[in-house]
């Protein structure tokens, strides 16, 4: 920016001198404004080049069960790409297909209630077939007699409600009711400590708690439950 200054020769007449000084100031301001007006704004940045689309492929295959009948297709299993959340459910023939899977290291997990989760790590370099095999969780039977201890011996109690949060099915949350012989049973139980909720009007557990008791399951287990009248 160039600033031009107008120099005026002084005059004896103070009015003329003042006018000339005012004119000089006005010309200087006008020159500054003109110079500033000529200043151009910075050039706009060039638009970024569009990014290349992500490379993706299709992952498909068969999920099967290795069980007593041999290797058979498994329906209803969830095949999940843990990185992206993409998932598919296997059909009656055990097949699944996932499209748009990124060409990155991924972890694929197969799950279904009642079966041991199976995971595989891989990186796709093209459309890929990956068959997966799972095994059932080993389970056992928990059963026993609910009874009242009397002077004459054990008396079975019918109609006792027994609840197990982790028994009876892969999803758990199962109730059983004792029959006329006081017998109850859960057909799907894992090894370990298993809490049971036991209740019948007019009775309570013959132990430190009124309704909760813990059974130690190791293989097929018989666990009898003693109750007393309230």
pLDDT at position 149 is 87
Write out pLDDT tens, residues 184-225: 999 999 899 999 999 999 999 998 888 999 999 999 999 999
**pLDDT of amino acid 24:** 53
Q: Which of 227, 143, 216, 211 is nearest to 179 (CA)?
A: 143
Q: Pairing state of beta strands 221-222 and 192-199?
A: unpaired
pLDDT for 9 equals 46
Residue 16: CB atoms within 10 A of its CB come to 12
Q: Which of 173, 166, 226 is nearest to 194 (CA)?
A: 166
Tens digits of per-residue pLDDT, 9-19?
A: 444 455 545 55
For 175, the token pair is 């109730």
Q: 64, 58, 59: which is closest to 77 by C-alpha?
A: 64
Rounded to whole angstroms, the Cα distance separating 157 from 11 reads 130
Q: Is the pLDDT of residue 7 over 90?
A: no
Residue with tokens 């969830």: 78
- 140-229 — its CATH code? 2.60.40.10
CA dihedral 160, 166, 168, 171 (to 10 degrees): 130
Q: pTM of this prediction?
A: 0.60
Spatial CA neighbour of 58 closest among 146, 128, 156, 1: 128
Averaged over 69-87, what is the pLDDT? Answer: 94
Mean pLDDT (whole number) for 80-104: 96
Looking at residues 147-151, what average pLDDT do you find? 91
If you average pLDDT over every residue of the chain, what do you get?
85
Query: Is-same-fold flag (56-134; 140-229)?
Result: yes
- As a whole number of angstroms, the distance between CA 52 and CA 135 comes to 42
State the pLDDT at residue 41.
Answer: 54
Phi and psi, residue 227, nearest 5°: -130, 160
104: which 2 tokens? Answer: 């990155």
Out of 3.60.20.10, 3.30.360.10, 2.60.40.4130, 3.30.465.10, which CATH number does the structure's domain 56-134 have?
Answer: 2.60.40.4130
User: Are residues 202 and 182 in contact, defined by beta-carbon separation less than 8 angstroms?
Assistant: no
Sequence-separated (6 or more) residues with CB below 8 Å from residue 209: none
Domain boundaries, the chain: 1-39, 56-134, 140-229
């Amino acid at each position: 920016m160039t600033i031009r200054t107008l120099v005026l020769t002084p005059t004896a007449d103070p009015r003329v001198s003042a006018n000339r000084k005012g004119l000089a100031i006005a010309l200087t301001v006008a020159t500054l404004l003109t110079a500033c007006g000529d200043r151009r704004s910075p050039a706009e940045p060039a638009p970024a080049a569009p990014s290349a689309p992500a490379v993706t492929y299709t992952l498909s295959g068969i999920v099967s069960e290795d069980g007593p009948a041999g290797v058979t297709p498994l329906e209803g299993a969830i095949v999940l790409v843990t990185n992206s959340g993409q998932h598919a459910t296997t059909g009656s023939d055990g097949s699944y297909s996932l499209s748009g899977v990124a060409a990155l290291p991924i972890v694929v997990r197969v799950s279904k209630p009642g079966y041991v989760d199976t995971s595989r790590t891989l990186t796709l370099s093209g459309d890929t077939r990956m068959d997966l095999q799972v095994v059932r969780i080993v389970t056992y039977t928990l059963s026993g007699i609910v009874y009242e201890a009397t002077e004459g011996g054990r008396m079975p109690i019918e109609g006792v409600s027994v609840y197990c949060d982790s028994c009876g099915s892969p999803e758990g949350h199962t109730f059983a009711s004792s029959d006329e012989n006081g017998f109850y049973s859960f057909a799907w139980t894992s090894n370990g400590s298993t809490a049971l909720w036991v209740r019948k009007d007019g009775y309570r557990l013959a132990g430190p708690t009124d309704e909760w008791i813990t059974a130690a399951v190791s293989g097929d287990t018989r666990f009898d439950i003693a109750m007393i009248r309230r």
